[in-house]
Amino acid sequence: MPTSIIIIDQARCEGYGFCAEAAPVLLELDDDGILHTRKDVDGDDELERAEAAVRVCPVAALRIGAGV
Ligand code: SF4
């Protein structure tokens, strides 16, 4: 299965962190409240986590895209 990535729309992100709680392996908030991806999305389990993170974001700042 090809690798996927989580794409963050930083202009929309409000730093709530719900996504990082849903997928702590994939997403983290830094000390300044800026969201970062931790790694590409590998495997079905991580893809489910990534999809959960996308769903839980109240401002629709995340989407899943094709990795390189
Ligand atoms: S849940 Fe949405 S708004 Fe909150 S940190 Fe994640 S991407 Fe940003």
Q: What are 19's two structure tokens?
A: 């996504």
Ligand 1 within 6 A of 23 CB? no
**Which tens digits make up the pLDDT trace of 22-62?**
999 999 999 999 999 999 999 999 999 999 999 999 999 99
- The stretch 1-6 carries a mean pLDDT of 84
Please give the distance, rounded to the nearest whole angstrom, from the Cα atom of residue 16 to the centre of ligand 1: 5
Distance 66 CA to ligand 1 centre (A): 20
- Per-domain residue ranges of the chain: 4-59
Task: Report the CATH number of the 4-59 domain.
Answer: 3.30.70.20
In this structure, the residue with its CA closest to atom 8 of ligand 1 is: 13
Count other C-beta atoms under 10 Å from residue 6's C-beta: 26
Q: What is the pLDDT of residue 1?
A: 60
For position 67, what pLDDT does the model report?
82
What pTM did the predictor assign? Answer: 0.93
Predicted confidence (pLDDT) at residue 6 exceeds the cutoff of 80: yes
